[in-house]
Structure 1
Amino acid sequence: MLHKTVCRIMFSLLPVFAANAQAEDVIQILTQNYPPFSMSVSGKNFEREDGIEGIDKEVVVELFKRAGIPYQMTLRFPWSRLQEMAEQQPDFAVYSLSRNPERESRFKWVGPLSEIQLVLLKIPGNPITLNNLDDARQYSIGSVAGTSVSQYLEKQNFTVKNVLSNAPAKLQAGEFDLWATTNPAGDYEARKAGIGKLELAFSISSTQLYLALNRETPDEVVQKLQSTLDQMRKEGFIDQVTARYLTE
């Protein structure tokens, strides 16, 4: 009788154990306000799931659905903290992150999702002329902390003012002379803010954006995501989504 009672208890707990196992397998995907790749529909700094839109957001959602991998997506800030969480916590991932030698060993990578140009932008009519990057040292530069362009400039011993939000408006107001950002994100954000198209002061380099997963993510999951993304690109899905956002 005791044996039967124990068995009934164990079987009754199976759904609980199964639910917990499934919960542990859910990948927590983090992202930030980074138009047009990922952004809050309402303009807030915290959103979930359908409250997020953007090129890479749509690609990542389609990617996980096709691959059959459960996920939850959250948009929040600051960007540097999101990267730390994805690096330190199993079953976490972050996008859109540029892949460079400093970050390479910290994550497992799926991509590329998109391509960007690291740039210095200025207000139209501003007489600043840069023949090389060193020419920018005499001007004040604003950027979002933790981004690839701000990190690059800081490693080159530039002083960069941290801008949490509304960078185009702050550039227009003269809070700094140059905005260190990426295109098409910079142009998109300025247009949405009603500032209009900004002028390119200097193009630093180009890089690609990826989905970065915690190092403990199983290799078979990474491989499944990568092969699925490759198929989506082959079908033209990524180009179609990109065109929809950049030709508005």
Structure 2
Amino acid sequence: MHDQARRKLMLGLAGAAGLAAYAAQAQQPGLLIVTEEAAPYNFTENGRLTGMCTELVQEVLSLLQQTAEFSVLPWARAYEMARQGENVLIYSIARTAQRESLFKWAGVLTQVEYSLYALASRGLRLGSLSEAMRWQTATVNADVGEQYLEAHGFAKGKQLQSSAKNQFNFEKLKMGRVDLWITTDLIAQQLASQAGDDGTRLLAKALPLPELQVDYYMAFGPATADPQVERFRKALETLKKNGRYAAIRRKWLGAAGPG
């Protein structure tokens, strides 16, 4: 075979391989990222998705030079989409023993601590979790707070009133439709502030739940390939090493403790 003919053959093969690789990549399902309204971690403001954890996920995407579609959904729907789907990333999701095998965990975004809140004017203080069974508690459907209470004998329709998002729970608490609300400290204060209320005056911790101190993660369902999960984990670790993680955390939390 003459050199010129050989070069043409090699170029043709290279071009065919390139087209095949492009086609294979194009056929891969796009990345979908799902989350919920949970300020200050992830929430919509003036039609734009923002929040501390949102910024961290966006920084990871930028580092990976990857595009994705974001979708803000009721938590239970986002949870099931991520658990059952392929190439679906969910954040901010608490890592618990109950959820351990249901997801592939791609890195810690922040740490949170839950409490049972009541209106300060009620003067309601609980000595133990069992005392809370006398009262109606607002929860978010399928979130870690609701799952925690269910694991301790609480039931929807009895002691628990489940909603699609925390904003509804805050409103129910203010209106006196529930006695307690399980949520994180920052979510409670943020929703009160957004409603024009002083959360430090309006709300009081009826029962802190230090045993429900959990890490919020990025996570994929089991159908997502391990290399994809590892790419996201390593990118988040890079943000923690290069200072971007700390800078974003300071922007949103200042010198606050657990997120």
Alignment TM-score, normalising by the size of structure 2: 0.80
Identity of counterpart residues, as a percentage? 25
1:123-175 per-residue CA deviation (whole Å, 9 max, x = no partner) reads: 12322111111121111111111110011101212221013343223211111
Q: What is the identity, as a one-letter code, of the residue corresponding to 2:178?
A: F
- Report the Cα offset of residue 217 of structure 1: 2.3
Range 225-234 or range 163-172, more displaced: 163-172
Separation in structure 1 between the aligned mates of residue 163 and residue 84 of structure 2, nearest angstrom: 25
- Report the Cα offset of residue 218 of structure 1: 2.5
User: Aligned-residue CA RMSD in angstroms?
Assistant: 2.3
Q: What is the identity, as a one-letter code, of the residue corresponding to 1:96?
A: S
Equivalence for 1:161: 161
Which has more radius of gyration? 2
Equivalence for 2:145: 149
**Pairing of 1:144-223 with structure 2 (within 5 A):** 144-158=140-154, 159-164=159-164, 165-197=167-199, 198-204=203-209, 205-223=212-230
**Pairing of 1:87-166 with structure 2 (within 5 A):** 87-158=83-154, 159-164=159-164, 165-166=167-168
1:2-55 per-residue CA deviation (whole Å, 9 max, x = no partner) reads: xxxxxxxxx99x979836733625211111111111111247xxxxxxx21111
- Tell me if 1:224 matches 2:226: no
Instruction: Check the 8 A contact 1:24/1:91 in 2, yes or no.
Output: no
Relative to structure 1, is the Cα distance of residues 20 and 39 closer, same or farther in structure 2, using a 3 angstrom cutoff?
Answer: farther
Instruction: Check the 8 A contact 2:41/2:53 in 1, yes or no.
Output: yes
Q: What is the identity, as a one-letter code, of the residue corresponding to 1:71?
A: A
Separation in structure 2 between the aligned mates of residue 146 and residue 124 of structure 1, nearest angstrom: 27
- Report the Cα offset of residue 235 of structure 1: 2.9
1:33-79 per-residue CA deviation (whole Å, 9 max, x = no partner) reads: 11111111247xxxxxxx211111000010121023332211122x1
Separation in structure 2 between the aligned mates of residue 169 and residue 206 of structure 1, nearest angstrom: 25
Instruction: Check the 8 A contact 2:93/2:217 in 1, yes or no.
Output: yes
Unaligned runs of 5+ in 2: 1-14, 255-259
Equivalence for 1:53: 50
- Tell me if 1:41 matches 2:37: no
- Tell me if 1:73 matches 2:70: yes
Instruction: Check the 8 A contact 1:117/1:184 in 2, yes or no.
Output: no
Range 225-234 or range 148-157, more displaced: 225-234
**Pairing of 1:16-35 with structure 2 (within 5 A):** 18=22, 21-22=25-26, 24-35=28-39
Separation in structure 2 between the aligned mates of residue 163 and residue 60 of structure 1, nearest angstrom: 26
Range 17-26 or range 128-137, more displaced: 17-26
- Tell me if 1:245 matches 2:252: yes
Equivalence for 2:3: none
Equivalence for 1:64: 61
Instruction: Check the 8 A contact 1:39/1:52 in 2, yes or no.
Output: yes
Unaligned runs of 5+ in 1: 1-10, 44-50
Instruction: Check the 8 A contact 2:91/2:218 in 1, yes or no.
Output: yes
1:190-214 per-residue CA deviation (whole Å, 9 max, x = no partner) reads: 2212232121111112000011112
